[in-house]
């Protein structure tokens, strides 16, 4: 059975070098081998960084061992967070590196564009290059851009361009700019709580701002079985509909957009209950496989899906058919 991995991360060495030179945040401290996201928030790297940079035969062997036929390469947070000039240069270098991998290993890797998102005109130009010249399938962005958030009006032309080019947007978590979360360290501020909080807020703000009504052909993907939104979906619909509120610009209930514009992946969530809730609320046609490599163990992710008590048709949809539908322009 084919297997598409929709969340499969990598860094180029240039990005780490740029973060090592950087005086502000984020920066990389090679002596401590940590990325300092803020003055009081650091993330140990170790084997993680080595795996992110290693995108050659070792990565391909791992994919072969797990039966991953095709992976969409994406760049984690860091590049979009950098100063604008660095972001422009590193975006192009990262996208060129991803393109070379798609050429070196035909059919095994697909490219997603990392963009200098804060400079919208430059980001649009780079997205056009990535799609029209490099054949990329996605724009990979984050739930906040350090001082900016993608639901703001100034980013609407970028979403319109993605829809016009026929590529989807993968909205990946970033550390929320909420210092009250930082006192418990990266584990809590990031994957333990903060990532989910920030991605839920950004996704719902995109809906509330009417972005999907203004760009009805826009396709978006979020990870971790929808970042707890399936569990909250009925209440979100109910409260959005509770009282007329001119600040809510969405023309449909929030759940509408998860059935028409937004899909989710398994990435980093190996809870049977979470899967069953997501399938019940969104349907199996809205779920795809994502490993969240190298931040998760892809072997455990594949084994989790294989253990799910679902039909073969459902497993095919989750492993590759839904991804092929999304990727078809």
The rounded distance, in Å, linking the Cα atoms of 29 and 12 is 16
- List the domain boundaries for the chain: 4-327
CATH of domain 4-327: 3.20.20.140
The rounded distance, in Å, linking the Cα atoms of 40 and 114 is 27
pLDDT score, position 267: 96
The rounded distance, in Å, linking the Cα atoms of 285 and 311 is 13
* Helices and strands in the chain: count of H runs, count of E runs: 16, 11
Q: What is the DSSP letter of 190?
A: I
The rounded distance, in Å, linking the Cα atoms of 126 and 109 is 19
pLDDT score, position 219: 98
CB-CB neighbours of 11 under 10 Å: 22
Q: What tens-digit pLDDT sequence spans the chain (329 residues)? A: 999 999 999 999 999 999 999 888 999 999 999 999 998 999 999 999 999 999 989 999 999 999 999 999 999 998 998 877 889 999 999 999 999 999 999 999 999 999 999 999 999 999 999 999 999 999 999 999 998 899 999 999 999 999 999 999 999 999 999 999 999 999 999 999 999 999 999 999 999 999 999 999 999 999 999 999 999 999 999 999 998 799 999 999 999 999 999 999 999 999 999 999 999 999 999 999 999 999 999 999 999 999 999 999 999 999 999 999 999 96
CB 267 within 8 A of CB 223: yes
pTM over 0.85: yes
DSSP code per residue over 43-54? EE-THHHHHHH-
């Amino acid at each position: 059975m084919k297997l598409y991995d929709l969340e499969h991360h990598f860094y180029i060495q240039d990005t780490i070098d740029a973060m090592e030179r950087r005086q502000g945040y984020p920066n990389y401290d090679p002596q401590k081998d940590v990325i300092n996201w803020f003055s009081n928030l650091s993330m140990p790297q170790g084997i993680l960084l080595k795996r992110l940079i290693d995108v050659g035969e070792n990565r391909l062997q791992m994919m072969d061992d797990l039966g991953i036929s095709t992976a969409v390469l994406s760049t984690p947070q860091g590049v979009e967070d950098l100063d604008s000039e660095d972001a422009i240069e590193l975006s192009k270098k990262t996208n060129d590196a991803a393109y070379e991998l798609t050429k070196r290993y035909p059919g095994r890797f697909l490219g997603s564009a990392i963009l200098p998102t804060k400079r919208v005109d430059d980001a649009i130009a780079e997205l056009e290059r990535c799609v029209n010249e490099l054949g990329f399938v996605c724009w990979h962005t984050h739930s906040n851009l350090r001082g900016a958030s993608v639901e703001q009006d100034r980013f609407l032309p970028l979403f319109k361009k993605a829809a016009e080019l026929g590529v989807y947007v993968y909205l990946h978590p970033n550390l929320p700019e909420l210092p009250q979360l930082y006192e418990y360290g990266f584990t809590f501020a990031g994957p333990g709580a903060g990532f989910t909080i920030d991605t839920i807020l950004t996704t719902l703000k995109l809906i509330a701002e009417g972005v999907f009504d203004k760009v009805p052909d826009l396709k978006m993907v979020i990870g971790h079985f929808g970042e707890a939104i399936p569990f909250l979906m009925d209440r979100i619909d109910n409260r959005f509909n509770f009282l007329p509120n001119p600040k809510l610009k969405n023309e449909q209930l929030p759940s509408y957009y998860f059935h028409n514009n937004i899909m989710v992946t398994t990435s980093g969530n190996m809870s049977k209950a979470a899967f069953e809730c997501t399938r019940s609320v969104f349907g199996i046609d809205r779920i795809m496989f994502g490993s969240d490599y190298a931040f998760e163990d892809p072997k455990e992710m594949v084994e989790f899906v294989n253990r799910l008590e679902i039909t073969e048709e459902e497993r095919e949809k989750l492993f590759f058919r839904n991804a092929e539908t999304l990727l078809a322009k």
